[in-house]
Structure 1
């Protein structure tokens, strides 16, 4: 029997439901009825019924508030709302609160019985699912491969005690292991020419196909294989009588995996081989060194078998240029020398490759370059904050590349884009300064003492640079432009006023009216008097 309570502020409704329904016949035990939500909530907390049938409109606490409390604290309790409110928003709230049914009054006794039968069937089914141990066992069996992978990952990543190792090996039916041990890690470089951006299921299929080749190639009694949560493939190889034989076997297997993936799937993997260890609890040492070997893909390129013993046995070289690479590259960017920037990128990447510095040091160099370029953008791209921010965000892409070759291509593209942006920014700033200069002339042309020095102080530019860019933008020198403005204003005054020539000369910035006459005739071909006469005749005055 499932326990049920009724909540309604109308006594006649509660009495009708109690007396007209044979609750036991439908699989329910009616344990109480309540006139408001507050009393019902106390009963829910005390008796924990499996079903609550409630009205909406009630004093002290309405049905939806009650449903919200039940849903948040006892989500397994089913709720049926019986209400005379035919309001869409009530139905919406009921759906959000995961109410089982929202039914409008009036409802017949027969409909109530059918509703109870349906709810009981749902509750029976849920109960059956919870109690179905066979189903749980099947689920456990389906989960065993994943559980085994997580166990093996813990074994190599953090190490486990001897008792737990023996217990888990027996539980997962794994073969017994014996010295020596060595861990190999395989990582997909990329998917070649396949376009997988919009087809994640294709990527998953290719990962599965790669792991299938990996398992088939390493299908031996002395090899354990699994995948990590980072989608890398790991093999634990064991049982050789000495280190040399174990290394030879692992190198052979690694090369087989690399070759088969490239041949049959048309993309590449890189394999990292760790150090040999003598005890099973030392597997984390071998695993971490295999990951370190894999990291050297960044320096040495993709589609390789990399052994930590081979790599860390070679001396690393610190090259002077690399140490201040970021500063030299930033200087080339600031000066807009694209060719110099490209050459620095090529030289810097080449030296990092040949130096065989630790991968962490190599990444540190790249971080310094990125930070320095970010500072350059902040200094030089100031008129467009959003563009500046977007350029800086793009620089963070450096962390997604797996090799220095990819970084070199990307860095050339980014630096070219930054130099172009800085050039555009400089042009924008120059245009703004020239515009301010033109406005200054238009506002102050009447000042006979206005000079190029005054103007350059106003726009914060040197006189030589301003003169150069002003001529480029306007086609005139400062004096030519100022004179043309003054002559234009003199024409307006000659046409629209009866001012004397000396008065006009003062208003356009010339103390000497004769000088104005000379300039006026030079620019218009006639004297100011003739210009005024012609304007008067032309207007018919």
Structure 2
């Protein structure tokens, strides 16, 4: 069964549709009928129906405004507009709002039944389409090239473990040739004299053409190729047993790519070649070198093939293989994963031990870790706690430890304390933001334009997260809470002043006094007039 609501300010239309249509026989459950768009929007937010059948001309909020809200926030809900206005501009607006159908009144019960059957068929087909595993498998196969590109980008950008690399290579049918590996990065300098400012698709076409030349040149050498999200072209070369031979091969291929792109596409590229590495999981070092050498374009000019070894020479001392675990540790601390943080500390210390790196290199690595943690603290905790932790993690303190095991224990203690404080700080911050939101509502309830978006901008929270925590803290949605405040203020004005009802409505944020009266009775069980008279009688008694 699909849930449906009816919205029409004519009671006879709503009653007629409710009583003359066997909704269940057509696959629908009628969960409500509403006299205006505002009430209907509240129902949509609460019940999330699959279908909304609405009139256009209604008080407080018309059908097209309602359809616009639905299209913006719940695009999966189908909307059908019923109207007596046979005007082209309404049809145009309905099309822009992605309304499913636009039906002219009067409409017979038989036409409604046929309409429901058609909409149900469309919904059934959509459901079947989403659940069609064969289609999903087909889409997966179509996505494999992109998935492979993203895997290769992760492989060179952040590094992966041996097990995951072996699994992914087998999945994509790729070979881990060896024994040496090297990364080459191609970056487009510019597009020459072409005018591309107004034709971004031309730029994309030229990038595609450049990558096609890149593939034709390198694929015969069994290179692994992909494009990054920064529009660079990357190749992983493998297979030589001698570093000089692999670099020579890379230079030869890079020069062919550079030459052919300049000759056939009439623009230039700069190509960076990283250092060779003996293990595929160390490719990030080669990739970083290839990216780093591209910076020398600033000094040497465009349209060149550059090697990191030519620019910066070979490393003078062995370094531990995974020197970016400080960044990963800071990320784990921010996300609250204490097990992941401890595992990263253990792995990092273990790598330092096995690398046999000089003690000064180990101390420098520890200082990087401390700096990353201090940056996390500055971002996520209040000032007094930040000062306390900064004292606890002075950069020079690492020199006071005699073993890496002592440093490991110290780091775990600091991380445990930091993560506990961050969790407490987040809870405190959320409470403060909700308090600010309540104060904002209490102060600005008379503003008839007040919206959830305005409130979220005031407290610097996203609408989705705010709605979640506001309901958790107050037990009510934003609209429910705002309405309760406005009704309470209206009661006070009715009891303590002689203001007219329309004046009270305006003072509590409702420009339409009729809508205010309807809402007041809905929440109090009595009209504003009866409420005032009752208060007067009770005061006199």
* TM-score, with structure 2 as normaliser: 0.50
* TM-score, with structure 1 as normaliser: 0.50
From the CA coordinates, give the structure whose radius of gyration is larger.
Answer: 1
